[in-house]
């Protein structure tokens, strides 16, 4: 899709050129504006609103182009992007169908007709503002001419040529011609601003129309690449065309087959993912089995060592009772300390074995839940 940025640049440069020209011609333009402030102010206000509206007509194409680019590239940001306004029918029709997308010729034509009507409708207000500026300029012209004609009539009716004072007659004539000249100033100034404003809006409307036409042509080329021609559209001259209901039935059947194909592809992908998960689960089970066997061997060794240590402790206790009188106090203290340390070691071994058994049980429960969930998803 072609970005409408270059059309915006043209419009901005044109407006800046007009602003620079207006700065150089500020004095005559100010005098012309003072001829009729009310009417000229309305003309300039309509011109300003028309400029803003034409710029907006091009700027609204940016989100539409962005949405189409996201849809074509099948990016994840499409679900988060704001729904387009101009392409709302197409967004509704396409929905979330991004894989193997195809349209019939009738669907493409209906989409393009709807978008073309929306584009034409958006240009109606711009065309109306151009005509409104011309109308306001002509209105000021006729307004000024009416003032001029009325003022001339008053001057002629008030002119007295019967007196002998010619100087007074010319003085009255000069004062009377001031009002007709003001009327002519109103006529020419309003015509000047109205026609100049219509020319400005005409150029901006031309750029907006070119941007919209380029957008429409790019959209038509993209949709043409997705269009599926039916057999009825390719019949030669003189051959009987397929009835409309048969063609609609064939198109619906083709669409159903495409949906079935997409469903089968998704099911195959789901089966592959399930097989991968089962392989990973089997590897995890084998690893867990190895760990449990190693832990069992460690527990057996600890139990054997505990039994041997218990025998040694019993023998030491018996020897201690037999030779309690012959041992000194230091030796007895050492033996008692050894008994305390051994009892602590036994307690730690028993508590560690209980924690280990609890962890193994929790791992087995988690494994059972995982296996059940995997089989449920596979079904």
Q: What are the pLDDT digits (tens) for 134-148?
A: 998 888 888 877 777
Determine which helix (DSSP H) or strand (DSSP E) holds 227, and give its type and residue range. strand 227-228
pLDDT confidence of residue 270: 79
Same domain, 222 and 328: no
Please indicate, yes or no, whether residues 154 and 196 belong to a single structural domain of this protein.
yes
pLDDT of res. 110: 77
The answer to whether position 239 is within a domain reads no
Determine the Cα–Cα distance for residues 56 and 214; give it in Å rounded to an integer.
Answer: 16
How many angstroms separate the CA atoms of 324 and 341, rounded? Answer: 20
Q: Do 225 and 248 have their domain in common?
A: no
Q: How far is CA 262 from the centre of its chain?
A: 26
Same structural domain for residues 92 and 212?
yes
Whether residues 131 and 47 fall in one domain: yes
Q: Around Cβ 280, how many Cβ atoms within 10 Å?
A: 12
Which of 229, 255, 288 is the last residue in one of the domains? Answer: 229
- Count of CB atoms within 10 A of residue 227's CB? 16
Residue 52 has what pLDDT? 94
Is the domain of 248 the same as that of 225?
no
Give the DSSP per-residue string, 69-110.
Answer: HHHHHT-GGGTTSPPPSTTHHHHHHHTT--SS--EEHHHHHH
> Using a CB cutoff of 8 Å and minimum separation of 24, what contacts does 38-43 make?
39/136, 39/139, 39/140, 39/143, 39/186, 39/190, 40/140, 40/189, 40/190, 40/193, 42/136, 43/133, 43/136, 43/137, 43/140, 43/190, 43/193, 43/194, 43/197
258 and 217 share a domain? no
Q: Which of 179, 201, 229 is the last residue of a domain?
A: 229
Is 216 a domain residue? yes
Residues of the chain with pLDDT below 70 are 1, 74-83, 93-104, 151-183, 227-248, 250-251, 306, 313, 317, 319-332, 346, 349-350, 352-353, 356, 360, 363, 367-368, 370-379
Does 238 map to a domain? Answer: no
Same structural domain, 38 and 137: yes
Q: Diameter of the chain by CA atoms? A: 170
Q: Is residue 236, in this structure, part of any structural domain at all?
A: no
By C-alpha distance, which of 210, 207, 196, 194 is closest to 13?
207
Looking at residue 111, what is its pLDDT? 79
Chain centroid to CA 364: how far?
A: 47
Q: Would residue 237 count as lying in a domain?
A: no
Within a domain: residue 342?
yes
Question: CA-to-CA distance for 130 and 187, rounded, in angstroms?
Answer: 19
Q: Which residue has the tokens 């209906």?
A: 110
Residues 163 and 261 in one domain: no
pLDDT of residue 201: 92
Q: At which of 190, 205, 229 does a domain end?
A: 229
Does 254 share its domain with 335? yes
Tokens of 65: 């182009």
- For residues 318 and 199, state if they share a domain: no
Q: Judge whether 234 lies within some domain.
A: no
Domain membership of residue 23 as a residue range: 5-229
Same-domain status, 215 and 265: no
List, in order, residues 6 or more apart from 204 with CB less than 8 Å away.
11, 14, 50, 51, 54, 55, 126
Q: Token pair for residue 136?
A: 């306001």
Q: Closest Cα partner for 65 from 212, 185, 239?
A: 212
pLDDT for the residue numbered 322? 64
Question: Domains in the chain: how many in total?
Answer: 2
Place of tokens 């010319």: 170
Specify if 155 maps to a domain.
Answer: yes
β-sheet bridge partners, residue 227: 103
pLDDT at 82: 61
Q: What is the pLDDT of residues 195-244, one digit of tens each?
A: 899 999 999 999 999 998 998 888 888 877 776 655 444 444 444 455 66
| Residues found in the chain | 379
């Amino acid at each position: 899709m072609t970005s409408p940025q270059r059309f915006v640049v043209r419009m901005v440069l044109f407006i800046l050129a007009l602003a620079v020209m207006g700065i150089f011609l500020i004095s005559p333009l100010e005098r012309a504006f003072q001829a009729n402030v009310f009417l000229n102010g309305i003309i300039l206000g309509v011109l300003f609103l028309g400029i803003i509206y034409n710029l907006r007509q091009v700027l609204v194409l940016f989100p539409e182009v962005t949405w189409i680019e996201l849809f074509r590239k099948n990016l994840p940001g499409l679900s988060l992007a704001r729904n387009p306004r101009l392409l709302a029918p197409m967004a509704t029709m396409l929905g979330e169908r991004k894989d193997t997308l195809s349209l019939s010729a009738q669907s493409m034509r209906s989409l393009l007709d709807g978008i073309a009507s929306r584009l034409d409708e958006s240009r109606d207000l711009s065309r109306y503002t151009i005509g409104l500026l011309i109308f306001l300029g002509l209105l000021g012209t006729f307004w000024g001419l009416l003032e001029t004609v009325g003022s001339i009539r008053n001057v002629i009716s008030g002119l007295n040529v019967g007196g002998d004072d010619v100087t007074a007659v010319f003085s009255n004539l000069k004062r009377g011609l001031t009002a007709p000249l003001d009327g002519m100033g109103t006529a020419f100034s309003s015509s000047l601003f109205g026609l100049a404003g219509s020319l400005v809006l005409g150029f901006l409307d031309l750029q907006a129309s070119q941007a919209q036409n380029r957008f429409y042509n790019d959209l038509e080329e993209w949709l043409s690449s997705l269009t599926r021609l039916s057999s009825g559209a390719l019949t030669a001259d003189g051959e009987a065309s397929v009835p409309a209901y048969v063609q609609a039935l064939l198109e619906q059947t083709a669409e159903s087959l495409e949906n079935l194909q997409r469903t089968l592809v998704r099911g195959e992908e789901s089966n592959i993912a399930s097989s991968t998960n089962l392989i990973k689960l089997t590897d995890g089970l084998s690893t867990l089995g190895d760990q449990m066997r190693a832990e069992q061997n460690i527990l057996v060794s600890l139990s054997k060592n505990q039994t041997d240590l218990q025998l040694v402790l019993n023998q030491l206790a018996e020897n201690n009772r037999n030779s309690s009188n012959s041992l000194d106090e230091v030796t007895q203290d050492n033996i008692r300390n050894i008994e305390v340390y051994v009892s602590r070691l036994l307690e730690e071994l028993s508590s560690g074995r209980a924690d280990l058994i609890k962890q193994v049980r929790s791992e087995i429960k988690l494994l059972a839940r995982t296996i059940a969930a995997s089989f449920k998803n596979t079904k």
